[in-house]
Amino acid sequence: MAAIDFKKVVDDFKATNWQDPGTWTAIPKAVVLVAIIVALPVAGYFGLRQGQLEELEQGKTQEERHKQDYLNKKKQAINLDLHKQQLREIDTQFGALLKQLPNKSQMDALLVDINQAGLGRGLQFELFKPAAQETVRDFYAELPITVRVMGVYHDMGAFASDVGQLSRIVTLNDVNIEAGKDGNLTMNVIARTFRYLDEDELAAQRKSVAAAKKGAKK
């Protein structure tokens, strides 16, 4: 095998007019050809890799989006179940509270219970006056009772406790205690009782609310 004259190769490269390929000698032509042969696969490889990387990045982004959508839907499902459970608990609590409201026919018995609670503690009633008219709310009616009793402080506290333990809801409001005769105290208080509306009353209430809304729009 003939030895390569590197000096001649270098001289050929130095003397080559790269702007005029027609004047190139065999060695520069061979070198350029080899470079082209090598460069084309390399360029193709990197072009292919770049396309694959872009597809991979797009696939990763889409995967993250699907994952986030799944997590959001899972969170919504959990919140929905929690919301349903809370509604069931509210319905249960509301039903329990509703049972503590007497109907219209039971109101007289409730007034007697309040009166008996005071008498049972040795209090003397000077006034027990239910309001002439109830205050109607969304689904219940409220009846305030003006009460004035005389007795000692301990008995008044026991009376308030007994009223709070009645099976029906009764609240004591605007409590005012003053010194009375013979060392006794006088307590003025508004006892509020509540009852739920019957079907006819509810229908009338809804009709009244609808009429009020209709009148407000005019």
Residue 67's φ and ψ, nearest 5 degrees, are -65, -45
Report the percent of the chain where pLDDT is more than 70.
64
Could you read off the pLDDT of 178-195 as tens digits, one per residue?
Answer: 987 777 899 999 999 888
Contact predicate 218/210, CB 8 Å: no
Could you read off the pLDDT of 43-65 as tens digits, one per residue?
Answer: 555 555 556 556 666 766 777 77
Domain residues of the chain, as ranges? Answer: 1-99, 104-217
What is 104-217's CATH number, 3.40.50.300, 3.30.70.60, 3.20.20.150, 3.40.630.10? 3.30.70.60
Could you read off the pLDDT of 95-120 as tens digits, one per residue?
Answer: 566 566 777 777 888 889 999 999 99
Backbone dihedral region for residue 122 (phi beyond 0: left; psi -120 to 50: alpha; all else: beta): left
pTM: 0.51
Residue 119 CA to residue 131 CA, distance in Å, equals 21
The arithmetic mean of pLDDT across residues 191-204, rounded, is 80
Residue 57 CA to residue 177 CA, distance in Å, equals 79
